[in-house]
C-alpha cells in the first residue's frame, strides 16, 4: 500500500511533537508544595470546618432572616473551599497536617467550646454572639491567607489565599454592619 508523501510527513511530524512533549514533561518535575502550602491547606481546612459548624448553628438557632442568609452564604462558600483544599491534598499526595516549626498565625481565635455554648443562646443574644465569634474567626482567616500569599510556593494556593483574604475582609464588613444594627437595637431597651 502506498501512502501519500504528505500523509507520511504529517504522521512523522505528529510523532516528533509527541516524543518532544513526552521528553520535555519527563525532564521538568513540578516543584510541589512547600511547607507553607501544606500548612495553609491544613489550617484552612480546620478553619473552614469551624466556620461551617458556626454557620450551621445560625441556620438552626437564629430567627433573623439576615443572619440565616449570611450563615447560608458562609456555609456554602466554605463547603466549596473545603473541597478545593481536599483536592490539593489528594493531588499533592500529602495529608493535611501541620508542622510545628512553620510560621503561622495564632489559630484559631475562636474556641470550639464557645461555638458549643452558642446552642444555649436564643434570639438576639444568639445572633450577637454568633456575629462576634464569626468576626474573630474571620480575622484569623485573613491572617492565615495573608501568610499564604507571601509564603506559598504553589500559584494556585497563592491565588486562592488572595481570594480568601478578600472574601473574608468583605465578610467582616457585612458582619460588623449586622452586629452594629443588633447591638444598637439591644442598647435601646
Mean pLDDT of the chain: 80
Quote the CA–CA distance of 68 and 100 in Å, as a whole number: 37
Is the model's pTM score more than 0.85?
Answer: no
| pLDDT-derived band at 108, boundaries 50, 70, 90 | low
| CA-to-CA dists, residue 69 to 9, 11, 26, 76, 78, angstroms | 62, 59, 49, 11, 14
pLDDT one-digit tens code per residue, 16-37: 545 544 433 333 245 678 888 8
In this prediction, residue 26 carries a pLDDT of 38
Query: What pLDDT shows up at residue 176?
Result: 96
pLDDT beyond 70 at 188: no
Question: How sure is the predictor about 6, in pLDDT bands with cuts at 50, 70 and 90?
Answer: low
Q: What is the pLDDT of residue 14?
A: 59
pLDDT number for residue 171: 95
Residue of 140 and 188 predicted with greater confidence: 140
Residues 172-182: pLDDT tens digits? 999 999 999 99
Asked whether the beta carbons of 142 and 109 are under 8 A apart, the reply is no
What pLDDT is stored for residue 128 in this prediction? Answer: 96
Vertex 173: Cα angle to 86 and 117 (nearest 5): 65
Tens digit of pLDDT for each residue in 34-90? Answer: 888 888 888 888 888 889 899 999 999 999 999 999 999 998 888 888 888 888 887
Give residue 8's pLDDT.
64
Give the pLDDT of residue 105. Answer: 52
- 157 contacts 110 by C-beta, under 8 angstroms: no
Amino acid at each position: 500500500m502506498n501512502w501519500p508523501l504528505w500523509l507520511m510527513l504529517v504522521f512523522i511530524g505528529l510523532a516528533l511533537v509527541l516524543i518532544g512533549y513526552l521528553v520535555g514533561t519527563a525532564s521538568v518535575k513540578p516543584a510541589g508544595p512547600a511547607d507553607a502550602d501544606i500548612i495553609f491547606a491544613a489550617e484552612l481546612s480546620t478553619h473552614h470546618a469551624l466556620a461551617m459548624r458556626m454557620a450551621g448553628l445560625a441556620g438552626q438557632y437564629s430567627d433573623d432572616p439576615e443572619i440565616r442568609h449570611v450563615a447560608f452564604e458562609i456555609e456554602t462558600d466554605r463547603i466549596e473551599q473545603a473541597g478545593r483544599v481536599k483536592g490539593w491534598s489528594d493531588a499533592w499526595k500529602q495529608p493535611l497536617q501541620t508542622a510545628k516549626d512553620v510560621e503561622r498565625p495564632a489559630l484559631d481565635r475562636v474556641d470550639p467550646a464557645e461555638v458549643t455554648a452558642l446552642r444555649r443562646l436564643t434570639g438576639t443574644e444568639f445572633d450577637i454572639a454568633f456575629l462576634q465569634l464569626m468576626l474573630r474567626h474571620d480575622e484569623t482567616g485573613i491572617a492565615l491567607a495573608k501568610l499564604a500569599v507571601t509564603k506559598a510556593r504553589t500559584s494556585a494556593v497563592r491565588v486562592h489565599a488572595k481570594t480568601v483574604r478578600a472574601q473574608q475582609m468583605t465578610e467582616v464588613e457585612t458582619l460588623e454592619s449586622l452586629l452594629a444594627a443588633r447591638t444598637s437595637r439591644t442598647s435601646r431597651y
